[in-house]
Amino acid sequence: MRVFLLLVSLFLLSSCYETERNCTDFRTGTFEFEALSGTEVFKTTITRSDSIEVDYFNEKIDSSTIRWVNDCEYVLEKINPKNQAEKKAILIKILTTDKDSYTFEFSEVGKTKTSRATARRVKP
Q: Which of 46, 43, 82, 77 is nearest to 61 (CA)?
A: 46
pLDDT at residue 16 in the model? 52
Q: What is the pLDDT along the chain (124 residues), one digit of tens a residue?
A: 554 444 444 454 444 555 678 999 999 999 999 877 678 888 999 999 989 999 998 889 999 999 999 999 999 999 999 999 889 999 999 999 999 999 999 999 989 898 899 999 998 7
Domains of the chain: residue spans and CATH = 21-123 (2.40.128.490)
CA dist 35 and 117 (Å) reads 6
Q: What's the gap between Cα 9 and its chain centre?
A: 34
Which is it for the CA torsion 30, 32, 36, 42, positive or negative? positive
* pTM for the structure as a whole: 0.78
CA dist 99 and 53 (Å) reads 21
pLDDT at residue 10 in the model? 47
